[in-house]
Structure 1
Amino acid sequence: MIDVLYFAWLRERIGVNRERVETKAATVADLVAELEARSEGHALAFADKTSLRVAVDQELTSFAAPLAGAREVAFFPPMTGG
């Protein structure tokens, strides 16, 4: 099981800010493919992956990152400073 967190407009499109997912995904990209199939909201949220950032266990990484041993994956839009 892995905790998946959604922030900003991803949370709005999916309808929840967190879900616990049972997955056999080897990478973040594999997990995204599984998530996209869950609902229309998930598919919409992940439609443009170039506009997303991902963190595995609170460390920024890429969609190619392995998930072995991961407890948490968070998806969010790029952050801006101010």
Structure 2
Amino acid sequence: MIEVLYFAWVRERIGIPREKVETEAETVAELVGELAAREARYAAAFADLSALRVAVDQELADFDAPLKGAREVAFFPPMTGG
């Protein structure tokens, strides 16, 4: 079981801020595939991965990052400096 967090427009498209997900995914990319296949709102949120960043257990990660032992995955748009 992994806690999945959604921030900013990702949360707006999916409609919830977080959920617990039962998954067999071995990487973030596989998890994204499972989520996007759920329904249209998930597919819309994950349509352009270049517009997303991901953190695994609060550490920035790539989409090929392994999920073994992970407790939390967060998806959010890139941060802008200022």
Instruction: Compute the TM-score of the two structures, normalised by the length of structure 2.
Output: 0.98
Q: What are the residue-to-residue correspondences of 1:3-82 with 2, within 5 Å?
A: 3-82=3-82
Q: Distance in 2 between matches of 1:38 and 1:4?
A: 14
Q: CA deviation at 1:69?
A: 0.3
Structure 1: gaps (5+ residues): none
Q: Percent identical across equivalent pairs? A: 73
Q: CA deviation at 1:65?
A: 0.1
Q: Distance in 2 between matches of 1:5 and 1:31?
A: 13
One-letter amino acid of the structure 2 residue matched with residue 28 of structure 1: V
Structure 2: gaps (5+ residues): none
One-letter amino acid of the structure 2 residue matched with residue 25 of structure 1: A
One-letter amino acid of the structure 2 residue matched with residue 32 of structure 1: V
Q: CA deviation at 1:81?
A: 1.3
Q: Any runs of at least 4 consecutive aligned residues in structure 1 with deviations exceeding 2 A, and if so which? A: none
